[in-house]
Amino acid sequence: MAYKIIVDAGHGGYDGGASYNGRLEKDDTLRLALAVGNILSDMGYDVEYTRTSDVYDSPVQKARIGNESGADLFVSIHRNSSPTPNTYKGVQTLVYEDVGLKANLARSVNNELEKVGYRNINVVERPNLAVLRRTKMPAILVETGFINNDEDNALFDNSFDETARAIATGIDDTIRAAGLKAVTQDETAEAISRIDDDSINNLPEEEDNSIEITDEEESGVDSGAADGEINEPGIENVGEIPDDNSNYEGYIKDVPTGENDNNDIYQLLVGIYRTAGSANYQMNNLINTGYPAIIFEDEGLFQVRVGTYDNIEEALIAARELRDRGYDTLIVLGNN
Ligand SMILES: [Zn+2]
């Protein structure tokens, strides 16, 4: 049986993902996902997609589609974005945890994309992303350059085929190196005709075993996380941002600030911590990624908040960006 890969085009339908000058992430991801899938298919893989048209499924549904497909590998295609255009560039591949096959896949894909001309901004652990957390097979999420960086867009458009080929090659090299790439049926028949009966009986079993070890390792990590809790100790799950603008009211939480100014602003609550050290760590992560994060102390807990937005639309855009980067985010009311 051929090694099966499910390719996930990020976002879709009314979830456009990040946008820049009318360019929508969901369109770039679909085009690239289909191109990557075609190449993988030519390479002999069994390829499926979470979507092949402009439709919406939540990340949780996408993970479910992946699990139900019985794929051996889940590859999610996205484009990155930063709060200010043209401040960041490069490729970044996200994994649930930076270990095992997925870590090798992520590095290999980044390295191949670097050869195309993208800056390699490394592999990042994102334990909160549904497509990485809830998938039972190894999963990677490729942030194929920043959609709000003109250089990255020029590479994406002018070297589109090379970009798709780089991702497929990065995957293929790693799967081959791990001994997981199943041979085609013709090759199998040819190989079987050359070996004796005992070896024939042993061959499939050995192949299955090597795949199972990987699966066990993955599901051991992922099943612990599939209960919806954030895995880092000391963080409370602050819920997910709705995908539909019309629902946002339910996600706004009035947080008392102890001030009497009526000038409401919105902030993004990204985590609540029991220790200042954990809060500091998260705050610095966010600041290093380009987000204006602060610590807000309330009832003995340390909240990490991002930004001050004076309208809900801006807050939602920023919340989506953060969610895309793997942060569970809650919009809260602050006072100016
Ligand atoms: Zn995205």
pLDDT digits (tens, 9 = 90+) for 195-206: 444 444 444 333
Q: Which fold has domain 245-335?
A: Alpha-Beta Plaits (3.30.70)
pLDDT of residue 250: 27
Ligand 1: distance of its center to the CA of 29 in Å? 8
Q: Concatenate the DSSP letters of all residues of 66-135 into one string.
A: HHHHT-SEEEEEEEE--SSTTS--SEEEEESSS-HHHHHHHHHHHHHHHHHT--EEEEEE-TT-HHHHS-
Domain boundaries, the chain: 4-177, 245-335
pLDDT of residue 196: 42
The C-alpha atoms of residue 101 and residue 98 are separated, in whole angstroms, by: 9
Ligand 1: distance of its center to the CA of 324 in Å? 5
pLDDT tens by residue, 133-155: 999 999 999 999 999 999 999 99
Ligand 1: distance of its center to the CA of 322 in Å? 10
Instruction: Answer whether 25's CB lies under 8 Å from 10's CB.
Output: yes
Other beta carbons within 10 Å of 84: 8
Indicate the average pLDDT of the chain.
78
pLDDT tens by residue, 48-92: 999 999 999 999 999 999 999 999 999 999 999 999 999 999 999
Q: What is the mean pLDDT of residues 117-122?
A: 96
Q: How confident is the model at residue 117 (pLDDT cuts 50, 70, 90)?
A: very high
pLDDT of residue 218: 31
Q: How confident is the model at residue 102 (pLDDT cuts 50, 70, 90)?
A: very high
Q: How confident is the model at residue 333 (pLDDT cuts 50, 70, 90)?
A: confident
pLDDT of residue 203: 40
Ligand 1: distance of its center to the CA of 210 in Å? 32
Ligand 1: distance of its center to the CA of 94 in Å? 11
pLDDT of residue 44: 96
The C-alpha atoms of residue 252 and residue 255 are separated, in whole angstroms, by: 9
Ligand 1: distance of its center to the CA of 134 in Å? 17
Residue 181 has pLDDT above 90, yes or no: no
Q: Which residues of 71-81 are buried (b: 16+ CB within 10 A; e: fewer)?
A: bbbbbbbbbbb
Residue 209 has pLDDT above 70, yes or no: no
pLDDT of residue 273: 81
Share of the chain above pLDDT 70, in %: 75
Whether 4-177 and 245-335 share one fold: the answer is no
More confident residue, 252 or 158: 158
pLDDT of residue 327: 82
pLDDT of residue 232: 31
Strands 139-146, 73-80: pairing kind: parallel
pLDDT tens by residue, 250-273: 233 333 333 334 456 778 888 888
pTM: 0.59
Cβ neighbors of 231 (< 8 A, separation 6 or more) are 127, 224, 225
pLDDT tens by residue, 210-220: 333 333 233 33
What is the rounded (10 degree) CA torsion for 120, 123, 128, 131? 80
Phi/psi of residue 213, nearest 5 degrees: -60, -45
Instruction: Answer whether 139's CB lies under 8 Å from 74's CB.
Output: yes
Q: How confident is the model at residue 314 (pLDDT cuts 50, 70, 90)?
A: confident
Residues labelled as active-site residues: 143
Residue found under tokens 């969901």? 26
Ligand 1: distance of its center to the CA of 3 in Å? 26
Q: What is the mean pLDDT of residues 221-234?
A: 31
More confident residue, 320 or 91: 91
pLDDT of residue 288: 77
Cβ neighbors of 92 (< 8 A, separation 6 or more) are 80, 110, 121, 122, 123, 124, 143
pLDDT of residue 195: 46
Q: What is the mean pLDDT of residues 317-327?
A: 82
Ligand 1: distance of its center to the CA of 284 in Å? 22
The mean-pLDDT minimum among 120-124, 127-131, 192-196 falls in 192-196
More confident residue, 239 or 109: 109
Please state which CATH number belongs to domain 4-177: 3.40.630.40
The mean-pLDDT minimum among 2-11, 242-251, 260-269 falls in 242-251
Ligand 1: distance of its center to the CA of 144 in Å? 10
The C-alpha atoms of residue 61 and residue 75 are separated, in whole angstroms, by: 15
